[in-house]
Structure 1
Amino acid sequence: MTKPDGANSPGPDANPSPRLLLLDEGDNVLVCTRPIAAGDQFLIDGRLHAAQVAIPVGHKVARHALAAGDKVLKYGAPVGSANRPIAAGEWIHLHNLDSDYIPTHSRKTVGSGSGGP
């Protein structure tokens, strides 16, 4: 486990190059600028979180708790909807985010032949 760092975290535990980047003040996600290992601790808006799984560079982390159906906002714009409740600090990706613009495919639907053309 590493020392905490993260977005909006002034003080001695703050890293000058935080692992999480807020792209727009209205966003409810942060973007990983460096890999986060499972168990690593980081701050989001002054609250300490621990990664439950490894989070790759460029992936999203919930800035605060989201309910199923909530719009996920990145760059100040919706990029999809939560398909289940998402806790603050949780990794957001295909397993808990549905696109509102294109069909969402999974290995199950693609492999079964029901995933579209």
Structure 2
Amino acid sequence: MKYKARDFLLLKDVDNVLVTCRNFLAGEYVDIDGESVSVDQDTPAGYKIARFEIENGELIVKCGMTIGECTKKTAKGSQLHIHNMDSLYIASHLKGGARYG
């Protein structure tokens, strides 16, 4: 699957999210896997958008790893962030080189 280099980054083939490489405006149409979809809200560079429709309770996979759980059905092309996902990161992740959490 190819994406415009300036639009998205697919980190691993198993990921169900894409990382934005530029800012997107709500209502902007983008091509995801050959389908034209509308971005649901303003989305800054570096944020996640759904590569596929993601159901409530489905795990969010980024860089081949589970990073969260979807808390409401999310359409393809929609932003994924704290408003529609719960983080599954563990409290022992490092922040500034020190134990965090």
Identify which of 54, 57, 61 aligns with 2:49: 61
Q: CA deviation at 1:102?
A: 5.3
Aligned twin of 1:19? 7
Question: How many Å separate the matches in 2 of 1:52 and 1:80?
Answer: 20
Identify which of 57, 63, 66 aligns with 1:75: 63
Question: How many Å separate the matches in 2 of 1:52 and 1:84?
Answer: 14
Q: CA deviation at 1:40?
A: 1.3
Aligned twin of 1:90? 78
Instruction: Give 3-state SS (helix, strand or coil) of 2:53's partner.
Output: coil
Aligned twin of 1:106? none
Unaligned runs of 5+ in 2: 92-101
Instruction: Give 3-state SS (helix, strand or coil) of 1:54's partner.
Output: coil
Question: How many Å separate the matches in 2 of 1:63 and 1:72?
Answer: 10
Aligned twin of 2:35? 47
Q: Which runs of 4+ in 1 moved over 4 A?
A: none
Deviations 1:16-66 (A, max 9, x none): x33111010000000000001112111111110111211011100000011
Unaligned runs of 5+ in 1: 1-6, 10-14, 104-117
Q: CA deviation at 1:8?
A: 2.0
If the length of structure 1 is used for normalisation, what is the TM-score?
Answer: 0.72
Percent identity of paired positions between Structure 1 and Structure 2: 35
Instruction: Tell which deviates more after alignment, 93-102 or 42-51.
Output: 93-102
Supply the RMSD in Å over aligned alpha carbons.
1.7
The answer to which structure has the higher helix fraction is: 1
Q: How many residues align?
A: 91
The answer to which structure has the higher strand fraction is: 2
Identify which of 2, 16, 34 aligns with 1:8: 2
Question: How many Å separate the matches in 2 of 1:101 and 1:53?
Answer: 25
Greater relative CO (CA pairs within 8 A, separation 6+): 2
